[in-house]
Chain A
Amino acid sequence: DAGVIQSPRHEVTEMGQEVTLRCKPISGHDYLFWYRQTMMRGLELLIYFNNNVPIDDSGMPEDRFSAKMPNASFSTLKIQPSEPRDSAVYFCASRLSGVNTGELFFGEGSRLTVL
């Protein structure tokens, strides 16, 4: 079975540009999470969805960040405008409800560099 699929794997952009990160969760998983990882702050939860509905976006740093999940197999995280401090690895993860709530399946991540 395919795991969580993220794209792009690497993105280099200039400050002020719009960035869109994409995620396809594991088929049948009804929870989807977006995390950001930096050396200083580790893995931080940005937002999560249940059945395509955003449940908690308290980790989204500011209005420049937005996330959508238009259907069960696709989610996007958008940064507009991007800033150098947004440089990080962004992970998408999914899991199935009713099972171990800590067992997340992570994608390979999208490494974002904002110049």
Chain B
Amino acid sequence: QKEVEQNSGPLSVPEGAIASLNCTYSDRGSQSFFWYRQYSGKSPELIMFIYSNGDKEDGRFTAQLNKASQYVSLLIRDSQPSDSATYLCAATGGGNKLTFGTGTQLKVEL
């Protein structure tokens, strides 16, 4: 079992809708969680991180963390075609090793 699990998708949402991306992790020692976006053929780039239970908002993006359920999610409001990409969830236990999920492909349709 991978330490960080994501549904590979694709997740298709219409333009303007809310996209909800989910991630679960198995290591209860994980402390920090990150969302990376990767466009096709490009490298991953960090878009959000969250350390504490609850919600963290940044523009159209909201990261949610529930440590009791070992669950992390990313909400994208007012989805745009430019949001179409693969979203990678990652976790670290406070050390230097960042463990990634396999990613969820998001398609925002016109």
A interface residues, Cβ below 8 angstroms from B:
31, 33, 35, 40-45, 48, 50, 55-56, 91, 100-104, 106-109
Known: A50-B96, A102-B49, A104-B98. A42 touches B90 (CB 8 A): no
A interface majority secondary structure: strand
B100 cross-chain contacts in A, Cβ below 8 A: 35, 42-44
Does A48 lie within 8 Å of B101, measured CB to CB?
no
Does A42 lie within 8 Å of B96, measured CB to CB?
no
B46 cross-chain contacts in A, Cβ below 8 A: 102-104
Does B49 lie within 8 Å of A42, measured CB to CB?
no
* Interface assignment of B80: CB less than 8 Å from any CB of chain A: no
| B52-96 interface code vs A (CB 8 A; 1 in, 0 out) | 000000000000000000000000000000000000101010111
Known: A43-B88, A101-B32. A106 touches B96 (CB 8 A): no
Does A101 lie within 8 Å of B96, measured CB to CB?
yes
Does B42 lie within 8 Å of A108, measured CB to CB?
yes
Does A42 lie within 8 Å of B102, measured CB to CB?
yes
Can you report 14 residue pairs joining A to B where beta carbons are below 8 Å apart? A42-B100, A43-B44, A43-B88, A45-B97, A50-B96, A101-B94, A102-B46, A102-B90, A102-B92, A103-B34, A103-B46, A104-B44, A106-B44, A107-B43
